[in-house]
Amino acid sequence: MDAKVAIIGAGWYGCHLGMMLDAMGCDVNIFEKNSDILGEASGNNQFRLHLGFHYARHNRTRIQSRDGYARFTERYPTLSKPISNNLYVVPKYDSLVDFDTYRLIMFSSGIHFQELRKNEWPEYLKDVDGVLKVDEHVLLIEEARKHFKQKLEGSIRLNTKVNSTEKTDEGVLVDGEKFDFVIDATWGHLTDIDYDCFYEPTLLLYYRYMGEGEYPAITMVDGPLCSIYPTEKKGIYTLSSVKHTPLGKYDTSAEAKQRLREFSNAELQSKIEVMQKHVEQFVPDFSDNFEYVSPQLNIKTKLLGEHDDRSCYVKTDDRMISVFSGKIDTIFFAAQKVCDYLERYVHGEI
Ligand SMILES: Cc1cc2nc3c(=O)[nH]c(=O)nc-3n(C[C@H](O)[C@H](O)[C@H](O)COP(=O)(O)OP(=O)(O)OC[C@H]3O[C@@H](n4cnc5c(N)ncnc54)[C@H](O)[C@@H]3O)c2cc1C
């Protein structure tokens, strides 16, 4: 396809879209404000290649993740790796759905799992209703950086912040330079986007496992619970708590960024305490096995609504495309939508 395309943002979405459009023959130009790619949400998250187990309450997100996982492991086989013991645990008292319902939702969604018998449950888990062993992977961000930088060499403009986009009769101007199409892949940080969404500053905590071998990935579901998930670095895990990870809810990206700038050391210390307490409700010996390493601060852009929708949406408006990211493995959904739009536009169907 003979089109000059600007992609704003070199996160997972911008890089994957860049690869796809490059393969289609487009002249791809990725603008990234930072000095490296995958430097914001894409490089600072829980690094879970979702399969849908997180989303018992949202069918669309669950199905996008289930399908995205299959496509991701096929398309990028070196950018994630399996976790030998990856457990989703439904606790007896705090889950929004009971274990039988949870298992039924996953089973009827066609997501593969192994149900553990009671005598196979880890003995250190407390008040458990049921446990599934799953195939979710952990994402390898350093490998991903290398991969995309090599494949997209010459197409990425680092340290280049976009300040304005403007439509003209023949195309779209990005800071004055003309393109046939522009894709906003900044997860809502370029302009206030046309989605009912909010910005949630977040705190995850990195911990070092002090024991032998590998500690399992443990995700308590469903609802305001917590999880311990490995990273690509040996022995380093993230602790996340749906109750304590969010640091507020803001209407604009600027306000959310300001909140992170104001986050103090005293606040961090009290967060470490409450997040550890939270996980110890379910894994009482957490502090005996893990030592705190450092915080991870970031911003999630989330759709408003009560149904836990974390799926991906794409909006198009006369050569301008805006991507609202879902999970990382839903990049394929965005790519399909973008590709359909460009082809229809170029063939005069729009
Ligand atoms: C705490 C947390 C945990 C998460 N855990 C998971 C998980 O385990 N698994 C999962 O699949 N997803 C997870 N997510 C969601 C995941 O991180 C996002 O879906 C994904 O990273 C979004 O990718 P993106 O490319 O759209 O956005 P980003 O990674 O944010 O990339 C946008 C890029 O745009 C650039 N940019 C912004 N403005 C401009 C500008 N004006 N000019 C030029 N460049 C600009 C930024 O610098 C950035 O590099 C988590 C998110 C958070 C915050």
CATH (domain of 324): 3.50.50.60
Instruction: Provide the domain count of the chain.
Output: 2
If you measure from the C-alpha of residue 98 to the centroid of ligand 1, how many angstroms do you get, rounded to a whole number?
A: 32
Q: What is the mean pLDDT of residues 175-184?
A: 97
Q: Does any ligand 1 atom lie closer than 6 A to the CB of residue 341? A: no
Closest CA to 66 of 75, 56, 53, 78: 53
| 240 and 187 both lie in a single domain | no
Closest CA to 322 of 308, 336, 310, 338: 338
Chain centre distance of CA 181? 25
Give the closest residue (by CA) to ligand 1 atom 3.
Answer: 45
Indicate the pLDDT class of residue 306, thresholds 50, 70 and 90: low
Is 167's pLDDT higher than 80? yes
Burial 195-224 (b: 16+ CB within 10 A, else e): eebbbbbbbbbbbebeeeeebbbbbbbbbe
Q: What is the mean pLDDT of residues 132-159?
A: 98
Q: Does any ligand 1 atom lie closer than 6 A to the CB of residue 302? A: no
Q: What is the mean pLDDT of residues 192-205?
A: 88
Q: How many angstroms separate the Cα of 217 from the Cα of each of 59, 87, 88, 135, 348?
A: 24, 6, 8, 11, 50
Answer whether residue 334 is part of any domain. yes
| 223 and 292 both lie in a single domain | yes
> What's the confidence (pLDDT) of residue 204?
98
Domain of residue 292, residue span: 84-135+197-304
CATH (domain of 104): 3.30.9.10
Q: Does any ligand 1 atom lie closer than 6 A to the CB of residue 180? A: no
Q: What is the mean pLDDT of residues 315-329?
A: 93
Atom nearest to 47 CA in ligand 1: 8
What pTM does this model have? 0.96
Residue 224, amino acid: P
> What's the confidence (pLDDT) of residue 23?
96
| 241 and 330 both lie in a single domain | no
Indicate the pLDDT class of residue 259, thresholds 50, 70 and 90: very high
Q: What is the mean pLDDT of residues 5-29?
A: 97
